[in-house]
Structure 1
Amino acid sequence: MPTPPRGALIIGGGIGGLAAALALHRSGWRVQVLEQAAEFTEVGAGLSIQPNALRALDALALGDQVRARAVTDAPVGTRRADGAWLIRNDVDRLTRRYGPWATLHRADLLDLLRRALPSEVLRPGIEVHRVHPDGTVEHTGGTSTADVVVGADGLHSATRRSLWPDAPAPRYAGYTTFRMITPARPVEGSVESWGQGDRFGYAPLADGRVYCYAMVTAAQDGTGGLADLRRRLAGWHNPIPALLDSVEPDAVLRHDTYELPDLNTYVADRVALLGDAAHAMTPNLGQGAGQALEDAVVLARSLEAARTGDSTIVQALRSYDRARRPRTQMIARRSRQLGAMAGQTRPPVAAARDAALRMAPASVFVRSMHPVVGWTG
């Protein structure tokens, strides 16, 4: 008799969880996805899929569909608050070296991932209480057991709390992030602008609307919404004030920014952490979703040896940990360092930063991207 397929239980139905489910499903695993929310939806705004993440989506056979829904231009560069260029990218050179970028709505990517999975594997409205290292999961629907459990349940992961009880708590990065999508208007491409402690970025979407984000130095659990953001950035270069004026207050998402201190392993027996549950990072490099997608592809490849009998699940998960932990923690560190530089609040230091960036050759910025976006799987 043929050996029945092994079972995988995915905790969390966001981008990372659905990508892991899809990668394992296509590798022959029986998969179930437990999602706490009542339905599999995404309330986020825009999303920049960089070349490394597009290659991960190609491995999931979704890359072409993403490109069809996205604006596929590389970022134009970085400006000062007054509009002067700090970094002006050679967009064609970036694309030739690394491949295209893709900007789309987060909900579009989640929809593609969800539709690629059989509906019966998706179990919304299930809250996980506890995860055990042998693959047993206690939840509001009862108890489930699988050959492997993937904790893709985000920054405040129940999986991580269960099996990494002594791990440091997420830490506040020192700034609040705003995200929004404005009505359609022409913009020059994907641009980020830096002031003193504040940053603003915008990128066009395929339907003409504009994805915008801002990072504002602020106290943890502070208050303030769109009106405060408009006041802070009123003197910034065009089209930033006009973009902020065009958006409705209820269309703005505001979240304090957290990151996860480094874990000493992403795996425990038959359980693996993935995405933000393993390595939540600041958004400065735009790599949160991209690293979750990479995780999903590498996890499925590592577990393929266990599915075919060439390795045990524990050995396969250790291989996943060796492959992913150094890279993701390196990217988290780079993102933190970039945030410290971009969010500089002291005027003399910010002025020195700006002068150094304007003097640096364009080739330096192209090469500096390679450790992050040059991943090929």
Structure 2
Amino acid sequence: MSNPKFRVAICGGGIGGLALANALATFANDVHVDVYEATSTSSEIGAGIIFWKRSWFILQSLGLESTLIDMDLKPPEDKPRPGFILRKADQKEPSHNFHRLITPHGSVAMHRAILLGVLREGVSKHCTIHYNKRLLSYNQSGGPVTMLFADGTSAEADVVIGSDGINSATRQTMFSNPTNERFSRPSWTGTYCYRSLIDSTKVLKALPGHQATTMPIIYMGKDKHTVSYPIKGNLINYLSFYTVPGREGTEYEGPSVVDGSCDELVKLFEEWEPEARTLASCVEKCSRWAISQHRGTPFCISGKVALLGDAAHAMSTHLGAGASQSLEDAYILGRILAHPAVNLRNVEEALQVYQKARLPIANAVVERSRTTGLLYELNYPAALGCLDEDATEGDLVENFIDSVYGQWTGQWEGLPSEDWARAEALLINTLGRSDDSEISIEKTSFNNTLGGFAISPQAQVVA
């Protein structure tokens, strides 16, 4: 690129970072992009991932849909589809499906590695990916931002985007001031998650007709729950959660991801019903994750540096929304940086618009995901007593079902293009380049239901 308007450095080559690189490749022809990945190759920890209507729209906008379809990954159906089965399972006797969520749109499940490969291929001709470049810190003093890496090297860029995960060095530098230092690191939810991919043929051999081989199911119980859903390749994506009472908000000590014990997993669910016990017993290898989160992030930009994805708003896994929120960050931020009204002189103001557009929504999803976990483990007011033997379908159970469904609606309501239209209007207004005197900050401010998710007062930006 002969004369770029500015240089963007993306620290982190995971889903969020590469999605932003794809967005800039799609919407800009005058922005130079470098991606700095900490490891020897772009990798994404985890297994299965589910995308709904909003996320698929972004992948489509980035020109990736045809590649995914060629891999036999069909777009989410635009009609009501059966979703997760809800099942109370913390008793030894066989249980029953007490509800199945019906969603207005379908979803698509894929392995994270597949999406990462598609995103990497999408930018292969448009940017440079530098491997073994783990960011330690950055500094900025009016000119270019300098990044310092663990290998002793450094690099400069006009704009730096920290997409370097939940333990983000970008975030730790941004929140290094004693006033904000408490936001620099994630806090533990008190929950462990055992993750695995299970061979569905083994499950059927152990329990013929096991419905988890063909349908997504949530097995619920006090302080524990299991989520399973089939993915391509005759596999079941398996996640079992166990919450240690009273530990939420503490700092987790030790590595957050370790090899899990299959014997420990089986013991955790030995008093549960046959379906849940069978899934646990069919796990041959698992990892154990200590689930942490960033709650109430007050800001996600500082000068010419911005946070994206887990670095900005890491959340629990109960809505499966972490990757989708990273995509939405990347879509909005990419379009802002690519906008013809944005240049090196006003890019800091443009990043302020990104923060206003995305952070309240993402913070709201963090809280919704937390609430969903409390519901699944019968620790939320709407869940208390609702699945007891004497509860009836017409009273407490219906309240519980409505509460669970309400957490999920943001996955499919509205489209990111609508959010971008509002963000662009605010961007033009903020930069003072509007040709329409009718546009005002009030008319372009973000309401309480953007991004598909309702924004609670606690989730609003406070700084």
- TM-score, normalization by structure 2: 0.72
User: Pairwise mapping of residues 212-361 of structure 1 onto structure 2 (< 5 A)?
Assistant: 212-218=238-244, 225-249=261-285, 252-305=286-339, 309=343, 312-344=346-378, 350-352=384-386, 355=391, 358-360=397-399
AA in 2 matched with 1:56: I
* 367 and 171 in structure 1: CA distance in 2 versus 1, 3 angstrom threshold: closer
The alpha carbon displacement at 1:310 in A equals 10
Query: Per-residue CA shift, 1:142-186, capped at 9, x if unaligned?
Result: 221112111001111110111211242311101101111011347
Query: Per-residue CA shift, 1:103-127, capped at 9, x if unaligned?
Result: 1111111111111112661111112
Distance in 2 separating the partners of 1:122 and 1:368: 37
- 3-state SS, counterpart of residue 234 of structure 2: coil
* 309 and 158 in structure 1: CA distance in 2 versus 1, 3 angstrom threshold: closer
The alpha carbon displacement at 1:369 in A equals 3.3
The alpha carbon displacement at 1:83 in A equals 3.1
The alpha carbon displacement at 1:342 in A equals 2.1
Distance in 2 separating the partners of 1:170 and 1:59: 32
Distance in 2 separating the partners of 1:308 and 1:84: 56
- 3-state SS, counterpart of residue 88 of structure 1: strand
AA in 1 matched with 2:115: L
Matched with 1:126 is 133
* 70 and 80 in structure 1: CA distance in 2 versus 1, 3 angstrom threshold: farther
Q: Which structure: greater helix fraction?
A: 1
Matched with 2:95 is 83
Q: How many residues align?
A: 368
RMSD (Å) for aligned C-alpha atoms: 2.9
The alpha carbon displacement at 1:20 in A equals 1.1
> Which deviates further from its counterpart, 293-302 or 126-135?
126-135
Distance in 2 separating the partners of 1:129 and 1:307: 32
Distance in 2 separating the partners of 1:274 and 1:228: 35
> Which deviates further from its counterpart, 166-175 or 278-287?
166-175
User: Pairwise mapping of residues 1-377 of structure 1 onto structure 2 (< 5 A)?
Assistant: 3-26=3-26, 27-28=28-29, 29-66=31-68, 68-70=71-73, 75-81=83-89, 82-90=94-102, 94=103, 97=104, 99-118=105-124, 121-133=128-140, 134-139=144-149, 140=151, 142-165=153-176, 166-168=180-182, 169-185=185-201, 187-218=213-244, 225-249=261-285, 252-305=286-339, 309=343, 312-344=346-378, 350-352=384-386, 355=391, 358-360=397-399, 369-377=408-416
- 3-state SS, counterpart of residue 334 of structure 2: helix
- 3-state SS, counterpart of residue 318 of structure 2: helix
* 364 and 173 in structure 1: CA distance in 2 versus 1, 3 angstrom threshold: closer
> Which deviates further from its counterpart, 230-239 or 326-335?
230-239
Q: Does the aligned pair in 1 maintain the 2:315–2:366 contact within 8 Å?
A: yes
Distance in 2 separating the partners of 1:83 and 1:210: 20
The alpha carbon displacement at 1:322 in A equals 0.5
Q: Does the aligned pair in 1 maintain the 2:52–2:411 contact within 8 Å?
A: no
Distance in 2 separating the partners of 1:5 and 1:118: 21
The alpha carbon displacement at 1:206 in A equals 1.7
AA in 2 matched with 1:173: T
AA in 1 matched with 2:124: P
The alpha carbon displacement at 1:46 in A equals 1.1
* 237 and 51 in structure 1: CA distance in 2 versus 1, 3 angstrom threshold: farther
Distance in 2 separating the partners of 1:200 and 1:89: 16
- Percent sequence identity over aligned pairs: 26
- Name the larger-Rg structure: 2
Distance in 2 separating the partners of 1:362 and 1:311: 51
Q: Does the aligned pair in 2 maintain the 1:305–1:311 contact within 8 Å?
A: no
Q: Does the aligned pair in 2 maintain the 1:175–1:256 contact within 8 Å?
A: yes
> Which deviates further from its counterpart, 365-374 or 277-286?
365-374
> Which deviates further from its counterpart, 37-46 or 213-222?
213-222
Unmatched segments (≥5 aa) in structure 2: 205-212, 417-463
Distance in 2 separating the partners of 1:371 and 1:318: 24
- 3-state SS, counterpart of residue 19 of structure 1: helix
- 3-state SS, counterpart of residue 285 of structure 1: coil
- 3-state SS, counterpart of residue 315 of structure 2: coil
Distance in 2 separating the partners of 1:31 and 1:2: 13
> Which deviates further from its counterpart, 113-122 or 276-285?
113-122
Which fold has the larger relative contact order, with Cα–Cα distance below 8 Å and residues 6 or more apart in sequence? Answer: 1
* 307 and 22 in structure 1: CA distance in 2 versus 1, 3 angstrom threshold: farther
Distance in 2 separating the partners of 1:349 and 1:364: 9
Q: Does the aligned pair in 1 maintain the 2:369–2:407 contact within 8 Å?
A: no
The alpha carbon displacement at 1:86 in A equals 4.0
Distance in 2 separating the partners of 1:274 and 1:137: 17
Distance in 1 separating the partners of 2:49 and 2:137: 31
